[in-house]
Amino acid sequence: MLISIHQLLGDVTPFLVHIFQYLSTKGINVANYELDHICYRVETEERYQQLKKELSDLGELLIESQIGGRAIASIKLDQPIIYKNRAIAVVELPAPKKGSFYKEGFEHVEFVIDVPFDNFMAAHPHLDFITKDLKKSVNQGITLKETDFSVKFHHHTLEYVIRYLD
């Protein structure tokens, strides 16, 4: 018998409530932007391999590639995570980096925006966006990072980037 995404990863609702409250307090309206995917971090390589297999049993492993010195798997779920009026179909699962510790749990979400990054940042001048990903050749983006989570903004979904741009 297959287990559910909630049995594997726990209840995502508190994490998403936290994200949306944060965005609201920062004056960022994401109502018309797709919440493309959610990232779930693990502490060990063994847990990464186990969870990658279990998540793949709930959908399609889109890709597993080496990024930044560690494997990252992206899985498209057959039954997306539902939060309010949103369906989040892709889970990103990075293996832990050597020498770095990440507590297991949800780490970031990514939204697809339809405005130029400069315009988006100009509309929120009070925020300190991380812009290093604007230098990337594929899937440029900007990030807001807090102590226990990040929110990233891109122009394409992760699945689109995997299937068509990479």
Q: Is the pLDDT of residue 22 over 90?
A: yes
- Yes or no: say if 164 and 44 are a contact pair by the CB < 8 Å rule: no
Candidates 27, 19, 165; CA nearest to 105 is 19
Q: For residue 139, what pLDDT band results from cuts at 50, 70 and 90?
A: confident
Q: Percentage of the chain surpassing pLDDT 90?
A: 77
Average pLDDT over residues 11-31: 96
Structure-token pair, residue 14? 């508190």
What is the structure's pLDDT at 100?
75
Query: What pLDDT is recorded for position 146?
Result: 93
Better-scored residue on pLDDT, 160 or 22: 22
3-class secondary structure per residue, 72-89 = EEEEEEEEEEEECCEEEE
pLDDT of 71 above 80: yes
Tell me what the pLDDT averaged over the chain comes to.
Answer: 92
Record the pTM: 0.92
CB-based contacts of 30: which residues, under 8 Å, 6+ apart? 20, 23, 111
| pLDDT above 70 as % of the chain | 98
Look at residue 166 and tell me whether its pLDDT is greater than 70.
no
Give the Cα-Cα-Cα angle 146, 92, 151 (nearest 5 degrees): 25
Outline where DSSP puts E strands in 10-58: 34-41
Give pLDDT, residue 153.
98
Predicted pLDDT at 103: 87
- Structural domains for the chain: 5-165 (3.10.180.10)
Query: Quick one: tokens of 160?
Result: 């689109």
Q: What is the C-alpha to C-alpha distance for residues 144 and 137, in angstroms, rounded to an integer?
A: 20
Residue 92 tokens, joined: 């990103």
